Chains A and B, each alone.
Chain A
Amino acid sequence: MVASPDRRAGGKVGVLALQGDYAAHIAALRQAGAEAFEIRTRAELERADRVVIPGGESTVMGSLLQRFNFLDAFRDRILAGMPVFGTCAGLILLAADIEGRRQPGLGVMDITVQRNAYGTQVDSFRAPLATSVPGVREIEGVFIRAPKVTRVGPGVEVLASLGGSPVLVREGSILGATFHPELVPGALIHQWFLAFPVEPRKVT
């Protein structure tokens, strides 16, 4: 298949803009050569070929997805193979399980996360991360009230870890980071995500 020459990287990339640092993601995606736009409604979701879920507050985004009636439609698109990338709160929304709590989410990725696992804002930090992402040997990790991934399922690939905890994980067309690649220059992880093929997932 030959892509048309004027097609931007990754097709139309929607960034969930119900709350959080969606503007930083849009800037990173545009830097990576993508056509990026904000998603606030189900109709806007339908226009996206792939979606980024930003950092912010997972409880707020989850409850707004439910309230504005597109949580299920969003989950269905992901299960049908639409590539999705969640950072921090976005990863929490993607996770199948959250330790010690129940909150509305997409629950599509076979991982367990622990929210605010490092503590409050006074414990937020930056750390260099070695990654196995092609062409990205090291990236600066910005961890802000970050979650920890405490369990990964057999189909989940760990691309970077910190202190023994996975911080960058992929399961097929689903990518998640506990840190914020959108807040550092370069948009390297975004660039890689834009090349994810649309792949149908097995529904178990």
Chain B
Amino acid sequence: MDTVFWSARQSAAWKTKIGLAEMLKGGVIMDVTNAAQAKIAEEAGAVAVMALERVPADIRAQGGVARMSDPKMIKEIQDTVSIPVMAKCRIGHFVEARILEALGIDFIDESEVLTPADDKYHVYKHDFVSPFVCGCRDLGEALRRIGEGAAMIRTKGEPGTGDVVEAVKHMRAVVDGIARLTRLPDQELMTAAKELGAPFELVYEIAKTGKLPVPNFSAGGIATPADAALMMQLGAESVFVGSGIFKSGDPARRAKAIVGAVVNYRDPKVLAELSEDLGEPMVGIGISQLGENDKMAVRGW
């Protein structure tokens, strides 16, 4: 067996992509829908912004097909902030991805929040200069996306709900999946790869290194500083906050508090101070009130 790991054999470009993901660690990536919100996010200490037309909570409420955002709006946000700007394309929609790349987007999110454009295949991400982040619910899904060229993984959670339970479930699934692989003898790794639906070489690498070859962030349902700290303690390296900020009563204050919570995620005293007097959180929807057809996290193959 070749002992040079899969990730060590990737192109220099793939490593530069992961380099940016490394720079975003220990931070908060915030969903914003216009330049004014982007400015608020940057001033609150966001490490990057995600430019999109509607936050997941509104996509949920309004229904219809959710697509890539208008490039005009994305460009306005790029012109407003100095931090990285991310944007979403639909699952499998490689033309939307090419458009985002042409706009010089810093990270493309091939996202289940938008309506999938392909019900079988994701974008082949190795072909792009722009790095991609993709969602996952478990280790197998994470490794399929990395195999396709994703330079960052985020656990999906359930976007637009303000309910953190799915984010917790998916993060635990990934972390437990990694721990399980490290305990398996080599003989069992091929069957593990089959069961995970994941590339064998990546399964082998995870079994030996005990970690993903790309950073793993958390998304989908984070609404409070405590939620953000919880995800960090469970193994997230950064958090995405979507609807949780601009659907709350005092976005600037809440954004700042969540940034502080990610830095001090192990310090309950600081977290107590940060959680004080933040105004109304987003109202949210409990997962149990959501029908199976309403779940975004199940999108992804």
Q: Which residues of A contact B (CB under 8 A)?
A: 17-24, 40, 55-57, 59-60, 63-64, 67-68, 88-89, 101, 115-116, 119-126, 142, 144-145, 180, 183
Distance, CA A55 to CA B20, complexed state (A): 9
- Contact (Cβ within 8 A) B263 A144: no
The residue that A116 contacts in the complex, of B45, B82, B264, with Cβ under 8 A, is B82
Distance, CA A22 to CA B24, complexed state (A): 11
- Contact (Cβ within 8 A) B25 A20: yes
- Contact (Cβ within 8 A) A144 B101: no
- Contact (Cβ within 8 A) B27 A57: yes
Q: Kindly state whether residue B19 has any CB partner on chain A within 8 Å.
A: yes
- Contact (Cβ within 8 A) A120 B25: no
Distance, CA A23 to CA B18, complexed state (A): 14
- Contact (Cβ within 8 A) B129 A122: yes
- Contact (Cβ within 8 A) A64 B16: no
- Contact (Cβ within 8 A) B23 A57: yes
A residues in contact with B147, CB < 8 Å: none
- Contact (Cβ within 8 A) B82 A144: no
- Once A55-B23, A115-B82 are accepted as A-B contacts, the answer to whether A120 and B45 lie under 8 Å apart by CB is no
Distance, CA A145 to CA B20, complexed state (A): 8
- Contact (Cβ within 8 A) A60 B27: yes
Q: How many residues of B contact A (CB 8 A)?
A: 35
- Contact (Cβ within 8 A) A17 B101: no
Distance, CA A62 to CA B210, complexed state (A): 33
Considering only residues 1-56 of chain B, those with a C-beta below 8 Å from chain A are 12, 15-17, 19-20, 22-27, 42-43, 45-48
Which of B103-111, B119-127, B173-181 is the contact stretch? Answer: B103-111
- Once A60-B47, A63-B45, A120-B105 are accepted as A-B contacts, the answer to whether A55 and B83 lie under 8 Å apart by CB is no
The residue that A121 contacts in the complex, of B25, B46, B107, with Cβ under 8 A, is B107
Among residues of A, the one whose C-beta sits closest to the C-beta of B264 is A40
Q: Kindly state whether residue B150 has any CB partner on chain A within 8 Å.
A: no
Q: Which residues of B contact A (CB under 8 A)?
A: 12, 15-17, 19-20, 22-27, 42-43, 45-48, 78, 82-85, 101, 104-107, 129-131, 259-260, 263-264
B residues in contact with A180, CB < 8 Å: 19
Distance, CA A144 to CA B151, complexed state (A): 14
- Contact (Cβ within 8 A) B23 A21: yes
30 contacts between A and B (CB under 8 A): A20-B22, A22-B25, A23-B25, A56-B26, A56-B27, A56-B47, A57-B24, A57-B84, A60-B46, A64-B45, A88-B23, A101-B82, A119-B104, A120-B78, A121-B84, A121-B130, A121-B131, A122-B104, A122-B105, A122-B130, A123-B104, A124-B16, A126-B15, A142-B15, A142-B16, A144-B16, A145-B23, A145-B84, A183-B15, A183-B22
- Once A121-B130, A122-B130, A124-B19 are accepted as A-B contacts, the answer to whether A57 and B47 lie under 8 Å apart by CB is yes
- Contact (Cβ within 8 A) A144 B26: no
The residue that A18 contacts in the complex, of B22, B26, B46, B85, with Cβ under 8 A, is B26
B residues in contact with A24, CB < 8 Å: 22
Distance, CA A126 to CA B14, complexed state (A): 11
A residues in contact with B12, CB < 8 Å: 126
Distance, CA A57 to CA B45, complexed state (A): 9
Distance, CA A21 to CA B23, complexed state (A): 5
A residues in contact with B46, CB < 8 Å: 60
Distance, CA A60 to CA B47, complexed state (A): 6
Distance, CA A116 to CA B24, complexed state (A): 15
- Once A17-B26, A24-B22 are accepted as A-B contacts, the answer to whether A120 and B104 lie under 8 Å apart by CB is yes
Chain A proximity of B213: nearest CB distance (Å): 14
Most chain B CB neighbours (cut-off 10 Å) among A60, A64, A116: A60
| Contacts A56-B26, A64-B263, A121-B104 known; 13 new A-B pairs at CB < 8 A | A21-B22, A21-B25, A40-B263, A55-B22, A57-B27, A59-B83, A63-B43, A67-B45, A68-B263, A101-B82, A120-B106, A121-B106, A121-B130
B residues in contact with A121, CB < 8 Å: 17, 20, 84, 104-107, 130-131
- Contact (Cβ within 8 A) A60 B16: no
- Contact (Cβ within 8 A) B20 A57: no
A residues in contact with B263, CB < 8 Å: 18-19, 40, 64, 68
- Per CB-CB distance, the 6 closest pairs between chain A and chain B, nearest first, are A121-B106, A120-B104, A21-B22, A19-B26, A144-B19, A124-B16
